[in-house]
Amino acid sequence: MGNTLIETKEYLRTGSHIGTKFKTAGMRKYIFKKRPDKLKVFDVSVIDEKLSVAAKFLSSFEPSEIVVVSKKQYGQKPAEMFAQAIGAKSVVGRFSPGTFTNPAFKHFLEPAIILVTDPGADGQAINEANNARVPIIAMCSTDNETKNIDLIIPINNKGRQSLALAYWLLAREFLKIKGAIKSDADFKYKVSDFEFVLEKGSREEMSQEFSEDNKRTYEER
């Protein structure tokens, strides 16, 4: 495994390096190459580095000060499991306006830092955190706008397995840095515990076999 958080093949297996056919100015510098099918690809070493940096940044806060947000369906279970594993708070599904800015709101929260799955889907949370001067960490694909993001994690934020792996690694590394666990082996969760489960026979499950091509290494393309 060397100096990486996990073996490189796991990033490739989960398609963590696969972006979209589009790119924004803010994400251009993270793109390793463009495949013949026009999909942009991230360098897995950069993904690994940014996850490590994000875990260290998060560890400078107490778990109760961290709020993880995910409107995207595939990110909801990973976000909830991350929060459960480290003792943070999660807001999944629809983000109600005023959650970070209206003290009179029933579910008002005052995070010291937030982590979001997708700047596009989680735009309301980002706007409110920015207004409250709360630092923002975001998982970003090649097509995401990066305005108001303090720390970018370049990664496939659309895939079930890539999101599960990312949140699992962040939780494990956070607990190690905090001293709650001493080694990787002490982390009681499996990556599969963080993964959104498709309903048997669902359209998403049946189309899963067609997504395997996106998990090829960038050397193959």
Sign of CA dihedral 217, 10, 63, 90: positive
Query: Cβ neighbours of residue 4 under 8 Å, at least 6 residues apart?
Result: 45, 48
pLDDT in tens, 159-168: 999 999 999 9
Where are the domains positioned within the chain?
A: 8-197
Q: What is the pLDDT of residue 198?
A: 83
Q: In what order do the strands lie in the sheet containing 113-116?
A: 89-92, 66-70, 113-116, 136-140, 151-154
DSSP 196: P
DSSP 111: -
Q: Phi, psi at residue 179, to the nearest 5°?
A: 85, 10
3-state secondary structure 39-60: CEEECHHHHHHHHHHHHHHHCC
Q: What is the pLDDT of residue 37?
A: 93
| Ranges of the chain with pLDDT below 50 | 205-214, 216-221
CA distance 120 to 71: 10
Q: In this structure, which topology does domain 8-197 adopt according to CATH?
A: Rossmann fold (3.40.50)
CA distance 151 to 51: 10
E-state strands within 46-150: 66-70, 89-92, 113-116, 136-140
Q: What is the pTM (predicted TM-score) of this model? A: 0.90
The residue written with tokens 């970003």 in the block is 140
Of 66, 60, 97, the closest CA to residue 79 belongs to 66
Q: What is the pLDDT of residue 206?
A: 40
Q: Phi, psi at residue 208, to the nearest 5°?
A: -60, -40
Q: What is the pLDDT of residue 220?
A: 40
